[in-house]
Amino acid sequence: MRKDRLCLLLLFSALLLSSCSSAKECSTEEDYTIEYFTGGGFTGMDRGMTIECSGRVVMWDRMPNAGKEITDSLLLKSAVRKRFDALMNDPLVFGYSKIAPGNHSTTLILTKPGKHTVITYDSSEPPADLPSPVRAILSEITTIHK
């Protein structure tokens, strides 16, 4: 009987610890998702990442007409997450959208409750009229481990 209780206690403790996370919880007002990917070309494969307001980043690959295959994940440092938080609250971020796909294109999808914008452009260079906070988001993305 004691072994059963000990096993149950250990199992409960493991479940409790596994449910804890170092990622912050996001309130509805600060919730956002940034999705960045490049793709197309001969294979049509997309390679990208999804950044959540919690600071969790998931890297993935996706073939045409298939689901995302997760290749890596990480948690952003607090300072980097705070920069994304500030940029995603800039009103200029959701006032711009562009769909200019090419054979090989880059896509940036920015989402907050009630707001959504898609920016797609030829992978060689971002659009010249891209607002500065969106350029800053792209700049922050390039610093994330890939």
pLDDT tens for the chain, 146 residues: list them.
444 443 333 333 333 333 334 445 676 567 899 999 988 777 777 889 999 999 999 999 888 888 888 999 999 999 999 999 999 999 999 988 988 877 788 999 999 999 999 999 987 788 888 999 999 999 999 888 65
| Domain residue limits at 120 | 26-142
In a domain, 1, yes or no: no
Q: Does some domain include residue 20?
A: no
State the Cα–Cα distance between residues 88 and 78, nearest whole angstrom: 15
**Domain containing 59 — which CATH number?**
3.30.1560
In a domain, 116, yes or no: yes
One-letter amino acid of 48: G
Q: For residue 141, give the amino acid letter.
A: I
And the tokens for 39?
């793709």
Q: Can you give the pLDDT at residue 10?
A: 37
Determine how many CB atoms are found less than 10 A away from the CB of residue 48.
21
Q: How far apart are CA 84 and CA 13, in angstroms?
A: 35
Number of structural domains in the chain: 1
The 8-class DSSP code of residue 37 comes to: E
3-state secondary structure of 86: helix
State the helix-helix crossing angle for 78-88 and 132-142, rounded to 10 degrees: 160
Q: Is 102 among the domain residues? A: yes
* Count of all residues that appear for the chain in the document: 146
Kindly state whether residue 48 falls inside one of the protein's structural domains. yes
Identify whether the C-beta of residue 87 lies closer than 8 Å to the C-beta of residue 137.
yes
Q: For 71, how many CA atoms within 13 A lie in the half-sphere containing its CB?
A: 12
Is 97 inside any structural domain?
yes
Residue 112, domain member (yes or no): yes
Q: Residue 28 has what pLDDT?
A: 58
120 within a domain of the structure (yes/no): yes
